[in-house]
Structure 1
Amino acid sequence: MTVYLISYELSNSDEKYKSIHSAMRIMGVYNHIMESTWLLSTPLSASQVGGKLTSYLDNNDKMFISKVSANECEFQGWLDEETWKWIREHILL
């Protein structure tokens, strides 16, 4: 499984948020770490994840997806303990 950081900015639509959240829940194990930022553990590629999520976006929206790996980056943040636990279990294997 690969973990991706997914961050987005959506223009005025609660329905879009709900649809994106539902799509991420179907794709794998997730942690909703901030209002518009998720960590998603999934067997899919970044392109596949993006393909599934961009159908909910319009021209005024933004989204960024990046692979997260303990071997390829450092971690620092001010997060709750439950989120750090998820990171340890899914990224820092």
Structure 2
Amino acid sequence: MPAILIDYDLNVPGQKYDKLIEKIKAYPGYAKLMRSTWIVAGSTLTPEKVTDDLRAVVDGSDRLFAVDITGQPNQGWLSESTWEWINKDV
């Protein structure tokens, strides 16, 4: 299943992350890696689709990066449950 890493910065002070996080959690699979870094998974996902989907809940001053990491080597210090999800779904 395709896995897309998302990283973002909401640049205007006082912006609410709620709508963006709600949109991210609507994907079939997701894991929060860090404050503004997620992995989403879904059979039809591409970086283009994810950025198009999330564009509706961010504004022109924000920054968003999405990259397909399906099957790519990975390493880091994450929670055990996050690693279990990555090893199962990515």
TM-score, normalised to structure 1, is 0.84
In the alignment, structure 1 residue 23 sits paired with structure 2 residue 7: no
Q: For residues 4-83 of structure 1, what are the structure 2 equivalents within 5 Å?
A: 4-11=4-11, 12=13, 13-14=15-16, 17-42=17-42, 43-70=44-71, 73-83=72-82
Relative to its length, the structure with more helix (as a share) is 1
Give the unaligned 5+ runs of structure 2: none
Give the unaligned 5+ runs of structure 1: none
Q: Matches of 1:69 and 1:22 in 2, distance apart?
A: 23
Equivalent residues, number: 87
Q: Matches of 1:27 and 1:81 in 2, distance apart?
A: 21
CA offsets per residue over residues 31-62 of structure 1, 9 Å max, x none? 11111000100122221111110122222211
Name the aligned partner's letter for residue 10 of structure 2.
L
Q: Percent identity?
A: 30
What is the Cα-based RMSD across aligned positions, in Å? 1.3
Name the aligned partner's letter for residue 3 of structure 2.
V
TM-score, normalised to structure 2, is 0.86
- SS of structure 2 residue aligned to 1:74: coil
